[in-house]
């Protein structure tokens, strides 16, 4: 019996939370990644720009965690985006080992359209569930992330 009382007579993965989350994420993300490619971005560029949009500068390590990319991949993406003027690296005020990354006005302008498209995609995905269920799902997911953030090793980020 699963947590919601439904019989778990099917395959294990059909009722296992991590498998369900991974499948939902993969399917929904793949839908939007086609839009990202049509707009001329790589998925990595989109993740970095979306993470930096309307945000304070972030460390490269934090960007790696948020974007689910390995740190060397984030560094390479940042190199390309910095060369195009979409992001800028900033020295940390008190720790020279830490490099912060901020989005430029050009980067904000560039990602604004994609964010509009992402919000529209999100609305289409959540529409069948209604506003209240959608808000509760997001709240639950944020709580799960917060509860488990420290338990998962940073080395697991891909």
pLDDT at 8: 56
pLDDT at 149: 84
Q: What residue segments make up the domains of the chain, in order of their start?
A: 12-148
User: CA end-to-end span of the chain, whole Å?
Assistant: 33
H-helix or E-strand containing 100?
Answer: strand 99-103
C-alpha to C-alpha distances, 61 to 43, 66, 74, 91, 97, nearest whole angstrom = 18, 9, 9, 14, 11
Q: Is CATH 1.10.10.10 correct for 12-148? A: yes
pLDDT at 157: 38
Q: What is the DSSP letter of 96?
A: T
The residues of the chain scoring below 70 in pLDDT are 1-8, 152-158
pLDDT at 139: 97
pLDDT at 154: 45
């Amino acid at each position: 019996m699963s947590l919601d009382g439904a019989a778990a007579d099917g395959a294990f993965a059909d009722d296992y939370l991590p498998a369900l989350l991974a499948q939902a994420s993969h399917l929904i993300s793949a839908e939007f990644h086609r839009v990202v490619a049509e707009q001329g971005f790589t998925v990595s560029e989109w993740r970095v720009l979306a993470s930096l949009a309307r945000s304070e500068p972030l460390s490269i390590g934090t960007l790696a965690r948020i974007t689910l990319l390995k740190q060397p991949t984030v560094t390479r993406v940042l190199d390309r985006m910095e060369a195009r003027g979409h992001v800028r690296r900033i020295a940390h005020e008190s720790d020279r080992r830490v490099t912060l990354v901020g989005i430029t006005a050009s980067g904000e302008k560039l990602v604004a359209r994609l964010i509009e498209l992402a919000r529209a995609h999100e609305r289409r995905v959540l529409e069948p569930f209604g506003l209240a269920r959608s808000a509760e799902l997001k709240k639950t997911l944020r709580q799960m992330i917060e509860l488990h953030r420290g338990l998962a090793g940073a080395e697991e980020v891909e």
